[in-house]
Amino acid sequence: MISITLKDGSNIEVQKGTTILEVAKKISEGLARMATCGIVNGDAKDLRYELQEDCNLSVETFDSSIEGKKAYWHTTSHIMAQAVQRLFPNVKFAIGPSIDNGFYYDFDVEKPFTDEDKTNIEAEMKKIIKEDIEIEKFSLPKQEALKLMENQPYKQELINELPEGEVISFYKQGDFTDLCAGPHLTKTGKIKAIKILSSSGAYWRGDEHNKMLQRIYAISFPKASQIDEYLEKLEEARQRDHRKIGKELELFMTSPLVGSGLPMYLPNGATVRRLLERYIQDKEVEMGYNHVYTPSLANTELYKVSGHWDHYKDDMFPVMKMDNEEIVLRPMNCPHHMLIYKNKMHSYRDLPIRIGELAHDFRFEDSGSVCGLERVREMCQNDAHLFVRPDQIKEEFGKVVKLILAVYADFGFKEYEFRLSLRDKNNKEKYFDDDEMWEKAESQLREILTEIGVKFYEAEGEAAFYGPKLDVQLKSAIGHDVTVSTCQLDFLLPERFKLEYIGEDGEKHRPVVIHRAILGTFDRFMCFLIEETKGAFPLWLAPTQVKILPITDAQHDYAKEVEQKLHKIGIRVILDDRNEKVGYKIREAQLEKVPYMLVIGAKEVEENTVAVRSREEGDIGTIRLEEFINKINVTKLI
């Protein structure tokens, strides 16, 4: 007998060789019906997996974990491949993994899939599900595996990359067999609701030098109603897509002549970004930050001293050789700020020293991963480094957290969590190898967060290479977790750069560095804001705050007077004096998400008033111009 420790901490004893599915049945028949896979000692396993020794076991369902969902979706990807095989007998199969939201499969077919093809594939998938075909797992040695896949070149390529002597697993369902490690469900009938979402071209292995395959994306759920809910979320996400809104509101643009991942801010977007930059810099100045400018280039030696070269050189742009130097576009700013601190000797009385910068950084992102403002190759960071004495860590870290909370209150952010990001102790390549330093930094950061009363959860493997950090995970309007603010504790870089200050005892001491970014990168922050607001920015951030709409030419002089008065007090105002009907002008201003429209007719000119329409409230009515100026002056800034 072997002992199985379940997720709730209880133990059951079973015969050696008992499968996960059999354990699920012992727990409850309901769990067995819903089970999709098991987690054995942290690893996802097939329901057919035979338990051979004492272990921890969690039986997963679609709703219990991402692993449970992925087993469900991976099974459905095989059903889709089987359907394609039935409809396109000459198809060559590539890969069909589960992803964060559903699954895809890549096929080598003669021509791209049409809408009619996708409709037929979905119908065939439903037939396969109704047939309730048994899904069987089996294994073969390498040479037999190659023979089985002799008509499938992509599968053969994958098999040939596996080491000699390895036993290779397959899954078979009726007339379809696929190379696969699993896990999978036991029958096709376990899948209840499916929907093909889209198709596109995809290079084999993401390499543009390889053949273009046809990829089909799809989703599946245990209930049909979940498909409808998911499609509604997709439509909401489409409506909030910052690339779509950015084009409609003329916020930013991209061009292949400039390059992938290099967006250009148009006047409207530049206005929003300028306001964000001023906003955060003003807050930082109030808190004693000193802002600097440092170059976007540096000698590679700088990053070798900092340690970034060993950990990040693959994410940097290629080195440029100039005279006797090797220069690289910088991926981060901390090494520059270390040198600014080191520019002169400091006393313990000088600390903390807070150095801030709106700094341009460059990352060598793959062209397939760049996306609008969300993922770019050049970014502007709201960066800062605090050089503190050990006895100042708690107070200064607490001030950073308070600044984060104040900023989130200004923007109305309510759904967010604090994540303590720790290293993976077993990954000696990703993280600087100094156990003592890591233990000190992680325990100190954990203690600080507990003392200042911040609720947090821990995430192993998410730290920076030089130290643990506090990440703030914002929940977006479409349900995504987005990391915006971050604050990191660093004992390593002060040591590598030999940073010092003269202590009260007259001796030299090492400062500690706190890395922090409140808005993260302005590019990603703007992406988040655009999708949160659907482009309807709050009044203080709106590129155009007021549009003046005269009804006829007779009101142009008064309208111009109103424009000048608003402009003089700092309101961003546009006079729309085109020869168009006022209804057309109003509709256009609404599409542009302008917070206020002032309609001016003969009566308004005579009475020195304006007819106010609000984006949020609709018709407010006719009021005196001075009253409107007082109203907007109160609300135009945070």
What are the residue numbers of the active site?
Answer: 334, 363, 381, 383, 385, 469, 515
Sequence length of the chain is 638
- 65: three-class secondary structure by DSSP: coil
Q: Considering Cα of 584, then 586, then 589, then 591, what sign does the dihedral take? A: negative
Sheet holding 416-422, edge to edge: 290-291, 353-362, 378-388, 512-521, 481-490, 469-475, 416-422, 456-460
Give the number of other CB atoms < 10 A from CB of residue 323.
Answer: 5
What CA–CA distance (Å, rounded) separates 479 from 31?
A: 28
Structure tokens at 342: 């080191």
Residue partners of 385: CB distance under 8 A and separation at least 6: 333, 334, 337, 338, 341, 354, 355, 513, 514, 515, 516
Q: Give the CA angle between residues 534, 412, 371 to the nearest 5°.
A: 40
> Is 377 within 8 Å of 329 (Cβ atoms)?
no
Instruction: State the alpha helices, DSSP H only, in 136-287.
Output: 142-148, 153-160, 224-240, 242-248, 267-286
User: How would you write 303-331 as a 3-class SS string?
Assistant: HHHHCHHHHHHHHCCCCEEECCEEEEECC
- 478: three-class secondary structure by DSSP: coil
> Is 173 within 8 Å of 129 (Cβ atoms)?
no
Residue partners of 298: CB distance under 8 A and separation at least 6: 327, 328, 330, 335, 336
Structure tokens at 16: 């050696």
> Is 168 within 8 Å of 145 (Cβ atoms)?
yes
> Is 13 within 8 Å of 2 (Cβ atoms)?
yes
What CA–CA distance (Å, rounded) separates 219 from 104?
A: 9
